[in-house]
Amino acid sequence: MTDIFTILKERLPNIQKNIPLKVHTTFKIGGSAEYFLTASKKDDVVSAIQLAKKIKLPIFVFGGGSNLLVADKGIRGLVIKIENSADIYVKDNDMIVHAGVPMKALVEVSIRNSLAGLEWAGGLPGTFGGAIRGNAGAFGGEMKDAIFSVEALDNRLVLRQLNHTQCQFAYRTSIFKKKNWIILSATVRLKKGNKKQLQDIAKSHIAYRQEKHPLEYSNAGSVFKNIPVKGLAPKYQKEFADKIKQDPFLIVPAAWFIIGAGLAGKKIGGAQISKKHSNYIVNTGKATAKDILLLIQTVKKKVKQKYGINLEMEVQYVK
């Protein structure tokens, strides 16, 4: 009987076995992918998923690995990493972009073409597809503000073209995240802007991240979603009145509740709540996924006890 790897290898020549995923995530944590494929073309992504579905293999697709915690035991089935550093087509105020393009490259190309609407994402890690999936945002901007349409593969392997409304964007989510659809490419619609001003904004955001975020350690970005002010009890709205931000609606950063619960700097194994930014958990060198999860559970429990708030994870845990 032909084994699964042989079947995969016949159709997917670049497939590999037992590849450590910690080298493909910004946390630098996680076990191995049973089968691993890097795909830079849309057709290759679709073909791989079709084959895996046909032979009933579990499938996990990711991009830059910047918002991801992989289990210590790794991931069964086929893991596909979508990457493409150059597939950006600019026409007038529109940019048609492959899902695997790094956000860094996308922001740079938009500014080079004097297009405004993505400069807020200066310093944002990860890939374009991942940013759309989680409706990434910072400094008052969100991906939804720029997205015109998205090409995605649904769970029945039907290629779909979704307009902005059909994407169902909400705070740090979208239809792609809710339904686990695979983003292949998208069109962003921007406006003409002043190149120098756009460069200055992007550079200031990069500098802010370098100063305020613990980028000297491996991390996966903000661990928890921020807290909408309208959902807070009046006494906490008053207590945190000077911490309220517009991002994109009125929120209190989750970090303040973590600090309030006395957890800044708390460490479990090799994982630590950053003293620099308490909504970051950092890998101090040899953290395991178990360490991270225990720390996350501790934070959720303590914040719930003190403030009655259920913190929601922004980082995706995959096992």
CB 158 within 8 A of CB 168: no
Q: Per-residue DSSP letters for 109-128?
A: HHHHTTEESSGGGTT--SBH
Task: Collapse the DSSP code of 148 into the 3-class scheme (helix H, G, I; strand E, B; otherwise coil) and give the result.
Answer: strand
Catalytically active residues are 172, 222, 314
Q: From the CA atom positions of the chain, what is the Rg in Å?
A: 20
Residue 25 token pair: 């995530």
Task: Collapse the DSSP code of 297 into the 3-class scheme (helix H, G, I; strand E, B; otherwise coil) and give the result.
Answer: helix
CB 14 within 8 A of CB 57: no
Residue 52 token pair: 């895996």
Q: 62-81 burial string, b = 16+ CB within 10 Å, else e?
A: bbbbbbbbbbeebbeebbbb
Q: How far apart are CA 246 and CA 137, in angstroms?
A: 11
